[in-house]
Amino acid sequence: MKAILALSDGTVFEGQQFGATGETVGEVVFNTSMTGYQEVLTDPSYKGQIVTMTYPLIGNYGCNEADIESIGPQVEGFVVREYSAYHSNWRSKWSLDTYLSENGIIGIQNIDTRALTRRLRVHGVMNGCLATEDADGNIDVASLVAKAQSWHGLVGWDLVQRVTCPNPYAWNQHPSSSTDDFSTDQIPSENGKYRVVAMDFGIKYNILRQLTEHGCEVQVVPAKTTAEEILAAEPDGVFLSNGPGDPEPLDYAIKTVQELLGKKPVFGICLGHQLMGLALGGKTYKLKFGHRGANQPVKHFETDQVEITSQNHGFCVDIDSMPNTVDITHINLNDDTLEGIQHREYPAFSVQYHPEASPGPHDASYLFSRFTQMMEK
């Protein structure tokens, strides 16, 4: 079946459909990772985005139950150069085509993803509309371009409410067994040394696994949980998760972080890092085409070492807006953007990249140890 990807600048890419059929709209972005497409598909940080993979062959190892990072696929659409209909891996349970189809995600293949990526790098990420032909084999290309142009985009839109958990849950339970109320006795402590409340702005499961492996019993709470509710549970620390979109509309989360700082150790990743930056009085801005991939070089000033990091974000904390109460701990060596901060007085720090994704593979695992050390003190 024919499929069309129409960009808001009028550029049109024609290819073949795989996965689901229909029509979708979102911000078109690219990811430079060579593997990990299932982690990309299920990362809640991609909500509202149509993702292009720059690696040319996608789908050859299928999809499995172990590499899912959230309740299911979160992307609005998926763009590849060549979809591998044949998949082979001992863990594989579904083909990529079946996985996308069962979850209602449209895929398009056999387009020039190098040309698309170059356009996004030169002109910046832009809105797009992805659609498959109708029952009569027709696609209204002009209509798709118009829909891409009229879409509101990500700036100023609270996407977190589309991905946060509806109710609190303990990580050793499935989210479907969550409870309606959040109280102290819901944080289990018999198996872990540290009791952590994780604010879910679109949290990835591997972050929860990493916290657990570092001795934490984790209670996940919705994004609008207040600081008063969190502090009443008497946790040893608070984690601020990753998530999609623009951090500035999340005034409720910024207020919560402000009220937590100095009272409990706080660790933030990705969107959590941006929210901490805003809570400390900083500013954020939208990057031209963002950082999405598993090979971003980041310099850690404390050790003077370069870490190979996995990243997925389109917004960034303005390094020049940070107050003098904050130390800059990490910087991106590709474009000198801010990658990490630590407060000089409060036990609080954050990073823009994803240490739990382990592209190094162990370059950044020390961050979880630092968090437990803060809770120990």
Catalogue the active-site residues.
270, 354, 356
Q: Which two tokens stand for residue 366?
A: 């020390």
* DSSP single-letter state for residue 319: G
Q: Tell me how long the chain is.
A: 377
Q: Which two tokens stand for residue 286?
A: 């939208």
347: Cα separation from own chain's centroid? 24
Q: Which two tokens stand for residue 331?
A: 């910087």
Q: Which two tokens stand for residue 21?
A: 């059929």
Tell whether the torsion through CA atoms of 373, 374, 376 and 377 is positive or negative: positive
Q: Nearest CA to 217 among 196, 186, 238? A: 196
- Angle (CA) 163 363 349, round 5°: 55
Q: Which two tokens stand for residue 126?
A: 């832009």
Asked if residue 130 lies in contact with residue 3, where contact means CB atoms within 8 angstroms, the answer is yes
Q: Nearest CA to 371 among 250, 235, 169, 232? A: 235
d(CA 14, CA 130): 10
Instruction: Count the neighbouring beta carbons within 10 Å of the beta carbon of residue 334.
Output: 11
Q: Nearest CA to 263 among 231, 232, 241, 240? A: 231
Which residues neighbour 332 within 8 Å (Cβ) at sequence distance 6 or greater? 291, 296, 297, 298, 338, 339, 352
User: 301 by DSSP, 3-state: which?
Assistant: coil
Residue 301 carries which side chain, given as an amino acid letter? Answer: F
d(CA 221, CA 197): 7
